Structure 1
Amino acid sequence: MNVFDRNINFDALFKFSQISRSTQHHLKNVYSSLAVCMLVAAAGAYVHVVTRLFQGGFVSLLGSLGMMAWLAMTPHNPETEKKRLAILAGFAFFTGVGLGPTMDFVIAVNPSIIVTAFLGTSIIFLCFTLSALYAQRRSYIFLGGTLMSGLIIMLLLSLANLFVGSVMLFKVHMYLGLAVMCGFVLFDTQLIIEKAEMGDKDYIWHCVDLFLDFVTIFRKLMVILAMNEKDKKKEKK
């Protein structure tokens, strides 16, 4: 029998039997909001890089934190849904503006790195998301303690590098951070599923968790690729 004659059952491929229908609908809302956040963040990054109307850095950080705090303090209900979506868009915009300084550095090295980093981030995010969705429920929840330990180690490395100023230590911090954030995609995805199964249907706030994971992976991947590109240019000289 020719294997190429077999029909592929795509319905079975995307069937998550361990997740209830209501939670699957909730996840659709989460990822739809995430897609919109990415578009708005791209607009924010464009504003910084091209128009220079806003400068990334401390101001954009304050804007992001302010929007996040406002979103957290606004209760989730049908009456406030549009308002919270607008706040989410504002948060995504300021986050995109905050990516500006990193993108300036990357553009100075090689502008094509931005596209490569985005595609790489999308693939990484998709693979780890599908792993979390197909895996047994709560199987990655145990990663919470390990990931928090990883964040503490990253913080200590950053503090140590303030005094040492080592490029090697900075690279270790970047690669460790990339690995930790990949773990957070697994952890946050399954945590969102568990919260939804327990009745927490705040898809807007759940979107924030995944959006921050995506942006952090994207930022770190851009820096890693840019540093590798600079190292290659030095070797050629």
Structure 2
Amino acid sequence: MDSFSSFFDSSNRNGWSYESLKNFRQISPVVQTHLKKVYLTLCCALVASAVGVCLDLAWHIGGLLTMMGCMGCIFWVFSVPQYEEKKRLSILMGSSLLQGASIGPLIDLVLQVDPSILISAFVGTAIAFACFSVAAMLAKRREYLYLGGLLSSGLSILFWLQLASSIFGGSAAMFKFELYFGLLLFVGYMVVDTQKIIESAHLGDLDYVKHALTLFSDFVAVFVRILVILLKNSSEKEKKKKEEELKCFTGTLVKYFCTNL
């Protein structure tokens, strides 16, 4: 947090400057170069995922098979030696494309309800991702790594809750809790995974493909949950609007019959 306080102190004295945002003194040049490659690969993975979404919208290929293919590609990335860089990148792009196709049906539903929800969800996820990533970079090294254990415990709780809901049936309140609790967990993972990547790079682990895959998984997990939350809120608003219109119409009919009888 000292880096945050120094950032705000400098902005109070000298005004906001672009140079103050580039104050990553705790990160060595080698690690900074590694992070650039990680985020560039992440952007390419997001583009591949968008292509997968378009393929699903055109031919409806998304489903269980694409999800299983995505998981298979993820395991394949980890099994290929690190020196086979091009092959691992190709597998990562394939995994991202299949991931996009897997969430294609959800995005198709959102487009039918309100296309602006999709833009809001993506922009919101991108802003959250950028803010929490910068926070992790500006913070002291290893400052947020202790949260990893808490997040792992929370993820385990979420898994057992979802398993119980699938077996015994879940309520609307349980679904809402799982949705918001999962969003909180994966936002936390954005911070923790960013610091893990930085720390691993300091220790010599410069596997940018693996690190980009980790951040891509966090991004998609947050994006899907924000998308569902916005879709749910939009449906509830539409339902309330229809109920109010029905009440207004019923009231008008009652007044009409009362005045004409």
Instruction: Normalising by structure 1, report the TM-score.
Output: 0.93
Superposition RMSD on alpha carbons, in Å?
A: 1.8
Match of 2:36 in 1: 28
CA apart distance, 1:15? 2.0
1:136 counterpart (140, 143, 146): 140
Question: Is 1:69 paired with 2:75?
Answer: yes
Q: Kindly provide the amino acid, as one letter, of the partner of residue 104 in structure 2.
A: G
Q: Percent identity between the aligned chains? A: 41
CA apart distance, 1:149? 1.1
Question: Is 1:87 paired with 2:95?
Answer: no
Q: Kindly provide the amino acid, as one letter, of the partner of residue 68 in structure 1.
A: I
Match of 1:166 in 2: 171
CA apart distance, 1:160? 2.8
CA apart distance, 1:101? 2.0
Which has the higher Rg, Structure 1 or Structure 2?
Answer: 2
1:116 counterpart (90, 96, 120): 120
User: Where does structure 1 differ by over 6 angstroms across 4 or more consecutive aligned residues?
Assistant: none
Partner SS state of residue 76, structure 1: coil
Q: Kindly provide the amino acid, as one letter, of the partner of residue 214 in structure 1.
A: F
Cα distance in 2, alignment partners of residues 10 and 89 from structure 1: 33
Q: Kindly provide the amino acid, as one letter, of the partner of residue 152 in structure 2.
A: M
1:182 counterpart (150, 169, 187): 187
Partner SS state of residue 117, structure 2: helix
Question: Is 1:42 paired with 2:50?
Answer: yes
Cα distance in 2, alignment partners of residues 56 and 194 from structure 1: 36
CA apart distance, 1:111? 1.9
Kindly provide the CA deviation profile for residues 3-42 of structure 1, in whole angstroms up to 9, marking residues without a partner as x: 9xx6754223212001111000000000000010111100
CA apart distance, 1:164? 3.1
Match of 2:201 in 1: 196
Q: Kindly provide the amino acid, as one letter, of the partner of residue 132 in structure 1.
A: A
Q: Kindly provide the amino acid, as one letter, of the partner of residue 52 in structure 2.
A: G
Q: 1:7 to 1:170 in 2, by over 3 A?
A: closer
Question: Is 1:215 paired with 2:220?
Answer: yes
Instruction: Normalising by structure 2, report the TM-score.
Output: 0.84
Match of 2:3 in 1: none
CA apart distance, 1:105? 2.7
Cα distance in 2, alignment partners of residues 105 and 174 from structure 1: 18
Cα distance in 2, alignment partners of residues 143 and 133 from structure 1: 15
Kindly provide the CA deviation profile for residues 34-90 of structure 1, in whole angstroms up to 9, marking residues without a partner as x: 0101111001001101x11x521211111111111111111112xx11111111111
Kindly provide the CA deviation profile for residues 102-158 of structure 1, in whole angstroms up to 9, marking residues without a partner as x: 212322322211111000000110111011000000001001111011111211221
Q: How many residues are aligned here?
A: 231
